[in-house]
């Protein structure tokens, strides 16, 4: 898989964990993580900063815009459909993007998309 896309997926995962810590029952999270939620949160935010620094500025801005708009900026393609907006993606698009050093976005909703198989 494309390196840049892997980073965007990791960024998305970190954002999910961060928002979980911020929004959900803190005491439950505390038990699960085995450490103070404040510590976990600052660790995650530090990791996010480090990761963001390695991502292309253009992609970072796109990610931020998409995350703000949709909540999820990176989604898997399932059965050739974008799992963000459920649009069926052209076959040519999927085959031409694989292996190349490009980050693919859904032509309909604009989210970053990746093949999960």
Residues that bind Zn ion (CB under 5 A): 82, 84-85, 106, 108-109
State which residue, 46 or 80, has the beta carbon closest to Zn ion: 80
Rounded distance between C-alpha atoms, residue 47 and residue 36, angstroms: 17
Cα torsion through 46, 101, 75, 96, rounded to 10: 180
Q: Are 97 and 52 in contact (CB under 8 A)?
A: no
State which residue, 10 or 87, has the beta carbon closest to Zn ion: 87
State which residue, 44 or 74, has the beta carbon closest to Zn ion: 74
Q: Are 55 and 7 in contact (CB under 8 A)?
A: yes
Rounded distance between C-alpha atoms, residue 91 and residue 79, angstroms: 11
Q: How far is the CB of 16 from Zn ion (least distance, A)?
A: 19
Q: How far is the CB of 75 from Zn ion (least distance, A)?
A: 7
Q: How far is the CB of 89 from Zn ion (least distance, A)?
A: 8
């Amino acid at each position: 898989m494309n390196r840049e896309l892997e980073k965007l997926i990791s960024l998305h995962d970190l954002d999910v964990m961060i928002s979980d810590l911020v929004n959900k029952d803190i005491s439950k999270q505390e038990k699960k993580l085995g450490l103070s939620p404040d510590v976990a949160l600052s660790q995650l935010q530090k990791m996010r900063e480090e990761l963001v620094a390695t991502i292309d500025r253009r992609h970072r801005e796109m990610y931020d815009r998409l995350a703000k708009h949709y909540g999820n900026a990176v989604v898997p393609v399932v059965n050739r459909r974008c799992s963000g907006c459920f649009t069926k993606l052209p076959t040519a698009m999927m085959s031409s993007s694989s292996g190349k050093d490009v980050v693919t976005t859904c032509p309909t909703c604009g989210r970053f998309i990746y093949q999960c198989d």
